[in-house]
């Protein structure tokens, strides 16, 4: 059917029209698209680990890990490979199929730390897990080395619209971000790229971000939709959280625009009730972070997630089911 085809030529106006549909109609359309491309009730579980925490030179206004803000975070250097493998084993035992390693770096340097990360990738991959990393900017050579080591996906978020970007980050440009995404794509890695709601952006900015994502060809295989986790000491500590309706609207629009992609209900899920989370799944979310911690902040407790999965009849998505280009 016409409305189910995967398109990369969405106009800004078409994206705005989808985004502004009456909420129930939007959610029902998204659910229909979802059913066409995905097994209802199948949800991917990814576990995050901060492998290098804090001390980041970037000035991302939302982030606990920027050296510019007094957030009270306890920094640590790059973890040992053994500690990371142990965490990955625990994540697998808890039901995760993807393990995502985050480092508070502006960019990857070709040094001993990068060699160590490559070894982490090899060893985590050998556990039968999908491996994702988010390490800041990458060169094409570094992306290729990560692919060679067995990395499945690379997370690099655009966060918001190009127009609003400089209100949130001044130490890099939107173009820098797109360049790394291109290097990741060229290396044959799966792309994980999404944004954050609640940065003080307008509806127009959200539409712009969705338009940028939906016109990437191929679409990012994973699209994390984060709600800002406000961090004391950052410029956005007092920002008001997006409502669940705004979150559902963004998820449903992303599902319609990028039918095959995994849409991740990412940071901020902890604040949602089971009913609110169920609505996000109906609207097309089919991936979550599983584990008591995100990078530096708490996530929904694993025990509660087990109850929620049982209640809703959610089945875990097997590893390597989503890694083909959309």
- Contact letters (x/-) for ligand SAM, 223-242, by CB under 6 A? ---x-xx-x-----------
The answer to whether residue 192 is catalytic is: yes
Phi, psi (5° rounding) for residue 300? -60, 135
Which residues ranging from 33 to 62 are in contact with ligand SAM (CB under 6 A)? 62
Q: Are 106 and 326 in contact (CB under 8 A)?
A: no
- How buried is 232 (Cβ within 10 angstroms: 0-12 exposed, 13-18 middle, 19+ buried)? exposed
249 binds, among ligand SF4, ligand SAM, ligand DTB, none (CB under 5 to 8 A by kind): none
228 binds, among ligand SAM, ligand DTB, ligand SF4, none (CB under 5 to 8 A by kind): ligand SAM
Q: Are 135 and 180 in contact (CB under 8 A)?
A: no
| 38 CB-side CA count, 13 A | 33
> What CA–CA distance (Å, rounded) separates 152 from 219?
16
- Using CB under 6 A as the binding rule, whether residue 181 contacts ligand SF4 is answered as no
Site size toward ligand DTB (CB under 6 A) is 17
Strands (E), the chain: 42-52, 98-103, 130-134, 153-155, 190-192, 195-197, 222-227, 262-265, 287-289, 315-316
DSSP helix/strand/coil, 242: coil
Of the candidates 203, 241, 243, 248, the one whose C-alpha atom is nearest the C-alpha of residue 225 is 248
Residue from 132, 177, 185, 249 carrying the catalytic annotation: 132
Region binding ligand DTB by CB under 6 A among candidate stretches 32-40, 170-178, 200-208, 292-300? 292-300
- Contact letters (x/-) for ligand DTB, 33-62, by CB under 6 A? ---------------x--------------
159 binds, among ligand DTB, ligand SF4, ligand SAM, none (CB under 5 to 8 A by kind): ligand SAM
> What CA–CA distance (Å, rounded) separates 268 from 136?
22
> What CA–CA distance (Å, rounded) separates 175 from 14?
24
- Using CB under 6 A as the binding rule, whether residue 196 contacts ligand SAM is answered as yes
Which residues ranging from 205 to 244 are in contact with ligand SF4 (CB under 6 A)? none
66 binds, among ligand DTB, ligand SAM, ligand SF4, none (CB under 5 to 8 A by kind): ligand SF4
Q: What residues have CB less than 8 Å from 79, skipping those under 6 apart?
A: 49, 51, 52
- Contact letters (x/-) for ligand SF4, 106-145, by CB under 6 A? x-----------------------------x---------
The answer to whether residue 46 is catalytic is: no
The answer to whether residue 193 is catalytic is: no
> What CA–CA distance (Å, rounded) separates 261 from 35?
13
- Using CB under 6 A as the binding rule, whether residue 63 contacts ligand SF4 is answered as yes
Applying CB under 6 A, which residues contact ligand SF4? 56, 58, 60, 63, 65-66, 104, 106, 136
Active site members:
56, 60, 63, 100, 132, 192, 264
Applying CB under 6 A, which residues contact ligand DTB? 48, 64, 100, 102, 134, 155, 157, 194, 224, 226, 229, 266-267, 294-297
């Amino acid at each position: 059917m016409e409305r189910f085809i995967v398109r990369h030529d969405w106009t800004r106006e078409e994206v705005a029209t989808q985004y502004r549909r009456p909420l129930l109609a939007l959610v029902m359309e998204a659910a229909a698209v979802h059913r066409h491309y995905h097994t209802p009730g199948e949800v991917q579980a990814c576990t995050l680990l901060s492998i290098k925490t804090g001390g980041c030179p970037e000035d991302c206004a939302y982030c606990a890990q920027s050296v510019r803000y007094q957030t009270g975070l306890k920094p640590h250097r790059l973890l040992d490979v053994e500690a990371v493998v142990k965490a990955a084993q625990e994540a697998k035992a808890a039901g995760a199929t993807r393990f995502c390693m985050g480092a508070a770096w502006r960019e990857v340097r070709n040094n001993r730390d990068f060699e160590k990360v490559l070894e982490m990738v090899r060893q985590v991959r050998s556990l039968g897990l999908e491996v994702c990393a988010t390490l800041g900017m990458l060169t094409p050579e570094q992306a290729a080395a990560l692919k060679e080591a067995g990395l499945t996906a690379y997370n690099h978020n655009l966060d918001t619209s190009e127009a609003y970007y400089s209100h949130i980050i001044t130490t890099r440009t939107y173009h820098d971000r797109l360049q790394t995404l291109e290097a990741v794509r060229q290396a044959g890695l799966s792309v994980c790229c999404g944004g954050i709601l609640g940065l003080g952006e307008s509806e127009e900015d959200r539409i712009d971000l969705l338009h940028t994502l939906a016109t990437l060809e191929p679409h990012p295989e994973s699209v994390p939709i984060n709600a800002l986790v406000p961090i004391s000491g950052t410029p956005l500590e007092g920002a008001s959280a997006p409502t669940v309706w705004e979150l559902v609207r963004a998820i449903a629009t992303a599902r319609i625009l990028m039918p095959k992609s995994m849409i991740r209900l990412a940071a901020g899920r902890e604040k949602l009730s089971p009913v609110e989370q169920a609505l996000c799944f109906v609207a097309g979310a089919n991936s979550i972070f599983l584990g008591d911690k995100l990078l530096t902040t708490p996530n929904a407790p694993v025990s509660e997630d087990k109850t929620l999965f049982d209640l809703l009849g959610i089945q875990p998505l097997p590893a390597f089911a989503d890694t083909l280009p959309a």
